[in-house]
Amino acid sequence: MSSHPQAQVTSDRLLQIAWCFVQPLAIDSAAQNRVFDVLDAGPKTLDEVSKETGASARGLAAVMNLLVGIDLLAKSADGRYSLTPESATFLVSAKPGYMGAFLHLVPSTLAANFLKLPEIMRTGEPFEGGAERPEVAAEFFDSWCSISCPWHIQPRGLLRMRSAWRAQRSRCRSSISRQVQACGASRWHKRRRRSA
């Protein structure tokens, strides 16, 4: 037998996992209420952020303090909030590395789809719904492209390509919509053949 005492098993990690859903919701709420954009001008008090965003001080305090806890905002001893290097780079809407559009899809679309996971696991059938909503697929593709191309890392070469990419984007979105619709139609025909 080992002489080392066994570590006590706790539920701490499971509780952390259970509450992880709150973080993308808080980031999205702050982005939608322009918290990161307002703080890009410099550190501000809660009341100053409330005045500039139009959001309630009570609601802002809850979300902004959570963001301090996950190092996306900093808070000084005198109560002024500021951006961290990470939020300044990826959560200010005017910055080229902005990820807010993609992060918005997590609570608005992706999370809802994952609620169907028990049924998908039980039946083995893929999630269906994207084919009926090609605009969602196009939005996902558009936001994914914006974070997949690291404009902030190699600005000279990539920024030259960015304007050309934007010109192609609308064509890509309509192409994705057509592909999603075709995929949905193909699945529908397969189901009809199986049930016949």
User: CA–CA separation, 135 vs 143, rounded Å?
Assistant: 12
Query: Which residues of the chain carry a pLDDT beneath 70?
Result: 1-4, 127-196
The confidence score (pLDDT) of residue 152 equals 44
DSSP characters over the chain: ---SPPPPP-SHHHHHHHTTTHHHHHHHHHHHTTHHHHHTTS-B-HHHHHHHH---HHHHHHHHHHHHHTTSEEE-TTS-EEE-HHHHHHS-TTSTT--HHHHHHIIIIIHHHHTTHHHHHHH-PPP--TTT-HHHHHHHHHHHHHHHS-TTTSHHHHHHHHHHHHHHHHHHHHHHHHHHHHHHHHHHHHHHHHH-
The confidence score (pLDDT) of residue 153 equals 46
The confidence score (pLDDT) of residue 99 equals 87
The confidence score (pLDDT) of residue 160 equals 46
CATH no. for 12-88: 1.10.10.10
The confidence score (pLDDT) of residue 33 equals 97
Question: Could you tell me the two tokens for 180?
Answer: 């999603």
The confidence score (pLDDT) of residue 90 equals 92
**Domain segments of the chain as ranges:** 12-88, 100-195
The confidence score (pLDDT) of residue 54 equals 96
The confidence score (pLDDT) of residue 16 equals 87
Would you tell me how many other CB atoms lie within 10 Å of the CB of residue 10?
8
pTM of the model: 0.65
